[in-house]
Amino acid sequence: MEQTERHRHETNATRCADALEQALSSVPFYRGWRSRDPGPSRPVDERLRALPVLSKRDLRTGVPFGFIHESRSGREGFMSGEIELVATSGTASDRVSVTWNQPWWDRSESEAARLHPVLGRVFGGSHREAVLTSPVCAGNVCHVGRVAMEQRVVNGLLFLNQANDPTTWDASEVRRMVDELDRFRPEVIEADPAYLAILARECTLAGLPVHQPACIVLTYEFPSLMHVRQIRRAFPDVPLVSSYGSTETGHVFTRCDAGLFHQNGATCHVEIQPVRAARGDGRVGRILVTTLDNPWFALLRFDVGDLARLHVGPPCACGRDGGLVVEAIEGRVGDLTFDTEGRAVTVKRLDDALAAAEGIVGYRVEQSGAGRYAVRFVAEPGTAAAAADALPGLMRTVYGGGAEVSVRAVSALAPEPSGKFRLAHTRFEWDPEALFS
């Protein structure tokens, strides 16, 4: 391991302890948490576990001033433009506003890029980047409707998409985006995998060559294996890098060239709170993030709302052994479904199974009750009948032999109002807090 990385690893716990001390002593929201802290004589992980989990509901209560260090004036920060309020995407219940400091975000992104060699080289200097996601994205620079390309270029970023629903893109819209990529020639395409998969599929079907960047960063939501297959057809030799983070917490994990996700220890500390053994795989848990060195938005144990699978094997082949390593991001907590025995099924486990149905390019699973599941899917021309035959058996490998499964082919699956594509959900309420140890 490089000396610089060893140093970052050794100092992460110390910096996390400093962030904890500062938050408990000088961040207004945490005044009520101080009595729960066992004190600086205890290891920082033990101190963190003694505290509550910070929720998006808490952010709605505390923003804009509750998470700013008392040494800073929030009003002056907003007036000077050093910080601003930025709304996150997500469902209505998940959407929040955060206190955004661009320099901290840029540092988080730069540090996370170091964890992949191709990304590190590209981010080592100035570069052009095209962004393909929902217009309901983080920040205030996305556009809906017809806006000239020049008006969608901000600080070296070209925002490609101008439609709320990418399944409505027609041939002229696909051609516009392809032409803009060819004109702009970005080194990086940062994309929601579902959106890029749709663009890639349309380009492949139409025989349209598309600009090949130095790398593609998949982010914003869970990258289905079906998305990746479609992207690969249009970008066969371009490195695909998975980046995980959130508007609230910055860049948290980067998938290295050996296939594991490494924590960005420079700007955050991560805990994985496991699913209870009786309800699922104990190596899977929800991601709790503590931010480091962000005086304008200090978060302790923030529940991002997603799940990860801990790596317990040998050290990663990439040579990095500092910080937390996870094998996979498993999808959103809110998108969990349950097998016939009541055990949690993550989106990744479901996706791994359904990817075996040849010809499927998209799907959505809805669980209506104990052991009852409905699958809607989109298939390549001529493959729908075979996919419909295969899906019930594949579903039962995940949910149990007694699962009642219905399947239906559809022409398209629209995104949620948030702009994100939901792959699975339940029609009944359940208590997420009861799942975790």
The mean pLDDT of 70-86, rounded to a whole number, is 96
Q: How far apart are CA 377 and CA 364, in angstroms?
A: 6
- The 3-state DSSP class for residue 220 equals coil
- Residues 144-174: pLDDT tens digits? 678 899 989 988 999 999 998 999 999 999 9
Q: Is the pLDDT of residue 90 over 70?
A: no
Domains 3-333 and 337-435 share a fold: no
* Contact call for residues 409 and 384 (beta carbons, < 8 A): yes
Q: For a pLDDT cut of 90, what percent of the chain falls above it?
A: 86
The mean pLDDT of 80-92, rounded to a whole number, is 83
pLDDT value at residue 3: 40
Q: Check whether the bond before 64 is cis (ω within 30° of 0).
A: yes
CATH fold label, 337-435: GMP Synthetase; Chain A, domain 3 (3.30.300)
* Contact call for residues 353 and 397 (beta carbons, < 8 A): yes
pLDDT value at residue 140: 46
pLDDT value at residue 314: 92
| Among 241, 194, 179, residue whose Cα is nearest residue 214 | 241
- Residues 330-344: pLDDT tens digits? 999 999 999 999 999
More confident residue, 180 or 89: 180
More confident residue, 48 or 9: 48
pLDDT value at residue 139: 47
Q: Is the pLDDT of residue 112 over 90?
A: yes
Sign (positive or negative) of CA dihedral 119, 121, 124, 127: negative
Which 8-state DSSP code applies to residue 327?
E
Rounded to the nearest integer, the mean pLDDT of the chain is 93
Q: Quick one: pLDDT band at residue 5, thresholds 50, 70, 90?
A: very low
Q: For a pLDDT cut of 70, what percent of the chain falls above it?
A: 95
Q: Is 434 exposed, middle or buried (0-12, 13-18, 19+ CB in 10 A)?
A: exposed
pLDDT value at residue 21: 96
Q: Quick one: pLDDT band at residue 93, thresholds 50, 70, 90?
A: low
- 49-63, 314-328, 384-398 — which is least confidently predicted? 314-328
Q: Quick one: pLDDT band at residue 126, thresholds 50, 70, 90?
A: confident
pLDDT value at residue 2: 44
* Contact call for residues 99 and 85 (beta carbons, < 8 A): yes
- Residues 218-273: pLDDT tens digits? 999 999 999 999 999 999 999 999 999 999 999 999 999 999 999 999 999 999 99
Assign domain 3-333 to its CATH superfamily.
Answer: ANL, N-terminal domain (3.40.50.12780)
pLDDT value at residue 258: 96
Q: How far apart are CA 236 and CA 381, in angstroms?
A: 22
- 89-93, 174-178, 320-324 — which is least confidently predicted? 89-93
Give the residue extent of every domain in the chain. 3-333, 337-435
Residues 385-412 as b/e (b if ≥16 CB within 10 A, e otherwise) read eebbebbeebbbebbeeebbbebebeee
Q: Is the pLDDT of residue 1 over 50?
A: no
The mean pLDDT of 278-291, rounded to a whole number, is 95
pLDDT value at residue 419: 87
Q: Quick one: pLDDT band at residue 10, thresholds 50, 70, 90?
A: low
Q: What does the block give as tokens for 40?
A: 């600086």
pLDDT value at residue 91: 57
pLDDT value at residue 92: 52
In the chain, helix, strand, coil percent, each to 5?
35, 25, 40
| Among 405, 364, 100, 354, residue whose Cα is nearest residue 229 | 354
Q: How far is CA 49 from the centre of its chain?
A: 24
Q: How far apart are CA 344 and CA 287, in angstroms?
A: 16
- 219-228, 261-270, 319-328, 402-411 — which is least confidently predicted? 319-328
pLDDT value at residue 125: 77
Q: Is the pLDDT of residue 394 over 50?
A: yes
φ, ψ (nearest 5 deg) of residue 359: 95, -15
What is the number of other CB atoms lying within 10 angstroms of the CB of residue 206? Answer: 11
Give the DSSP letter string of 292-318: -S-TTS--SSEEEEEEEEE--SSPPTT
φ, ψ (nearest 5 deg) of residue 101: -120, 110
- Residues 285-318: pLDDT tens digits? 999 999 999 999 999 999 999 999 999 989 999 9
319: left (phi over 0), alpha (psi -120 to 50) or beta: left
* pTM (predicted TM-score): 0.94
Q: Is the pLDDT of residue 94 over 80?
A: no
